[in-house]
Amino acid sequence: MKLLIIGPQGSGKGTQAEILSEKLRIPHISTGDIFRSLQGPLKKKVDEIINKGNLVPDELTLEILKNRLEKEDCKKGFILDGFPRNLNQARLLKKITKIDKVIEITLDDKTAIKRITGRRLCKKCKINYNIFTEPKPKNPEICDECGGKLVRRKDDTENAVKKRLEIYKKETLPVLKEYDNILTINGNQSIKEMTEEIINNLELKTD
């Protein structure tokens, strides 16, 4: 089954993609991970673009993605995460593969902002926490594991999150118009509830 997962930051789409990947035994394909795992001349090319602070052009991303989707482990399907981010990418994607189901995770801005601004990272051992959700540290400023100081990433401020949510609405949400096979899931549930809802609905379709 070829799945595409779409949702705003804070919706937990990456977590769901990981869980679904394990449950359905299909690879979780994230363009971020693909970029990081590149080798050779292509790696050099992409690194140069990213290091200059530019976005990798859609056509190049598509070419890299196409190579990945042609690998043996994608024969039974995959779950695509982080692509397409805009209409142009969605139209390009159609040229290389057909998506069976789009999983859209919805989340109100207020909850998304709370979840993102609540993220903390231990400076010392790099464990992730969230002072509002799970995994919650016993003390909001100190790591449970090593006693290190918990810090917030620079781009996890309320203004930065609001900006990213705006871009998501303006550029990514219109992607859904390109699909008529969308499963909409409320992101304001627990991770487990969301997974159950997704699995139940996917099974209905395959029965």
Nearest to Zn ion of 118, 148 (CB atom): 148
Q: Is 85 a catalytic residue?
A: yes
Catalytic residue among 68, 101, 115, 119: 119
Q: Is 25 a catalytic residue?
A: no
Closest contact distance (angstroms) between CB of 143 and Zn ion is: 3
Rounded CA separation 77/155 (Å)? 34
Catalytic residue among 13, 68, 101, 120: 13
Closest contact distance (angstroms) between CB of 114 and Zn ion is: 23
Catalytic residue among 25, 153, 163, 177: 153
Q: How far is CA 150 from the centre of its chain?
A: 24
Q: Is 153 a catalytic residue?
A: yes
Rounded CA separation 126/109 (Å)? 27
Is residue 84 reached through a cis peptide bond, with omega within 30 degrees of 0 on the bond before it? yes
Helix/strand/coil percent split, the chain, to 5: 50, 15, 30
* Site for Zn ion, rule CB under 5 A: 122, 124-125, 143, 145-146, 148
Q: Cβ contacts of residue 53 below 8 Å, gap of 6+?
A: none
Q: Is 115 a catalytic residue?
A: no
Rounded CA separation 13/161 (Å)? 16
Nearest to Zn ion of 115, 120 (CB atom): 120
Rounded CA separation 100/4 (Å)? 8
Task: Burial-class residue 116 by CB neighbours within 10 Å (0-12, 13-18, 19+).
Answer: buried
Nearest to Zn ion of 13, 120 (CB atom): 120
Catalytic residue among 68, 85, 101, 115: 85
Closest contact distance (angstroms) between CB of 139 and Zn ion is: 12
**What are the C-alpha distances in Å from 130 to residues 43, 108, 123, 134, 152?**
33, 18, 14, 6, 10
Closest contact distance (angstroms) between CB of 130 and Zn ion is: 14
Q: Is 68 a catalytic residue?
A: no
Nearest to Zn ion of 15, 139 (CB atom): 139
Nearest to Zn ion of 15, 128 (CB atom): 128
Closest contact distance (angstroms) between CB of 126 and Zn ion is: 7
Residue type for position 155: D
Residues taking part in catalysis: 13, 85, 119, 153, 164
